[in-house]
């Protein structure tokens, strides 16, 4: 599948984008090992989150739905999962695989985790290393890549682990393994990363302490079922925050968006660039802060992205690079080496696409320098990365000619219906079979 987008257009209206992928993954995982029935509204019915649903069904968990974003998980308790008959296929879900490594390291059965070609090319050493320190037994393919074979019946021990870099996936993996370890497991993070796991564990009645950058919990407790209302995903909203900022005369409202302070780097960075973004109707839903976001077109200026915002916007940088290309002057990003081990090497993939469209850029080992300019048209390779595909679709709003974006099938992993929603708001996008 490919996108073909005509140049120009503006965005207007009011819309709620699909539910947060990170929270959707965690609602299934924690609901499955809780006691009682966990009911979830706003669940993201994207391929990644559905792969997590399928994995827990394969381990004996009854799950009703999802139907129109509603899902019910019949929890089996901390020790109630059963051995799957086959390897668990996580598709393209890196979050699903990394978090499951921690949760499954403490089980009484052996299990194999696999995924598609993209996921099986992604390094898993960042979770294998701390889990091995805890006593887990994990065998990987060459280069510490999936498939991963996790041996059960290990007596996990608690650890104090200092994260080499801020990473919510690694932090969450260690904390989930800590549920099954003896003693107190602690993670020290060098900077803030998304805290959905800690918030949701507390929502399930599990005590988690956070102080001075150290997050810790005691193993051997229990989780009690609760109701979860998943806010709209700020990572999905980011495409339209940038779109309405760069398309002249745009005025757009995005409703019920999660504004967790560990996730709002994209808003902070766009505002530093001069974006006209206003948070309305702030409230808290199920322990997560939520707001409606109004964004109007505004002239953007290039900036040096503050280091303390990098981890808070790590998934949104592909579309932020589009904003930088439309800004006056130079934008500099450093300290974002994690972008090289996402669904693609996002620094290299975005740099290639920007060059194709006529934008001057310089690739750094840990980031990129982008000179604001004018998009031409062209054909973009996505390397099967959903966020690369959606980012370059947004670029057409300021392009001089048509943009064709190849290999867009993976968009459904995080944002099912992206093309139709974008078309309804004013993007001149068509989907074609490639």
**Which residues are the active-site residues?**
315
Of 344, 347, 377, 345, give the one whose Cα is nearest residue 359.
377
Asked whether 309 and 265 are in contact (CB, 8 A), the reply is: yes
Which strands make up the sheet holding 88-89, listed edge to edge? 88-89, 111-114, 145-151, 137-141
Residue position matching structure tokens 């997590």 = 52
| Residue 211 Cα distances to 187, 217, 305, 429, angstroms | 11, 12, 27, 47
Asked whether 218 and 397 are in contact (CB, 8 A), the reply is: no
What stretch of H or E contains 422? helix 418-425
Which strands make up the sheet holding 70-76, listed edge to edge? 62-67, 70-76, 35-41, 227-229
| Residue 191 Cα distances to 163, 311, 336, angstroms | 9, 8, 13
Residue-level length of the chain: 434
Residue position matching structure tokens 């051995």 = 83
């Amino acid at each position: 599948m490919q996108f073909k987008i005509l140049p120009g257009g503006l965005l207007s209206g009011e819309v709620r984008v699909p539910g947060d992928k990170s929270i959707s993954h965690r609602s299934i995982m924690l609901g499955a090992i809780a006691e009682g029935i966990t009911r979830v509204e706003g669940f993201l019915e994207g391929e990644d989150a559905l792969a997590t649903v399928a994995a827990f069904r394969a381990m004996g968990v009854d799950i009703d739905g999802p139907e129109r974003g509603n899902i019910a998980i019949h929890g089996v308790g901390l020790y109630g999962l059963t051995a799957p008959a086959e390897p668990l296929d996580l598709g393209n879900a890196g979050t699903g695989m990394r978090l499951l490594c921690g949760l499954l390291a403490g089980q009484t059965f052996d299990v194999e985790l696999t995924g598609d070609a993209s996921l099986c090319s992604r390094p898993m050493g960042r979770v294998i290393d701390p889990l091995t320190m805890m006593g887990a037994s994990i065998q990987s393919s060459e280069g510490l890549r999936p498939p991963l074979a996790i041996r059960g019946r290990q007596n996990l021990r608690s650890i104090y682990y200092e994260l080499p870099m801020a990473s919510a996936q690694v932090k969450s993996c260690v904390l989930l393994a800590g549920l099954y370890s003896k003693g107190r497991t602690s993670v020290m993070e060098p900077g803030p990363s998304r805290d959905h796991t800690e918030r949701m564990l507390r929502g399930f009645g599990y005590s988690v302490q956070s102080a001075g950058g150290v997050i810790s919990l005691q193993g051997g407790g229990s989780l009690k079922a609760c109701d979860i209302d998943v806010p709209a995903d700020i990572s999905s909203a980011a495409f339209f925050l940038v779109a309405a900022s760069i398309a002249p005369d745009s005025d757009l409202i995005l409703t019920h968006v999660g504004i967790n302070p560990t996730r709002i780097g994209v808003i902070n960075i766009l505002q530093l660039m001069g974006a006209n973004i206003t948070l309305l109707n702030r409230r808290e839903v199920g322990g997560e802060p939520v707001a409606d976001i109004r964004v109007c077109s505004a002239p953007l200026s290039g900036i040096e992205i503050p280091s303390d915002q990098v981890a808070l916007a790590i998934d949104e940088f592909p579309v932020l690079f589009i904003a930088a290309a439309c800004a006056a002057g130079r934008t500099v990003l450093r300290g974002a080496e994690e972008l090289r081990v996402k669904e693609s090497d996002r620094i290299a993939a975005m740099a290639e696409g920007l060059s194709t469209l006529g934008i001057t850029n310089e690739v750094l080992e840990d980031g990129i320098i982008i000179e604001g300019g004018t998009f031409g048209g062209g054909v973009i390779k996505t390397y099967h990365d959903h966020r690369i595909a959606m980012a370059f679709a947004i670029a057409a709003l300021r392009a001089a000619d048509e943009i064709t974006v190849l290999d867009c099938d993976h968009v459904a992993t995080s944002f099912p219906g992206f093309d139709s929603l974008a078309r309804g708001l004013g993007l001149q996008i068509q989907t074609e079979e490639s």
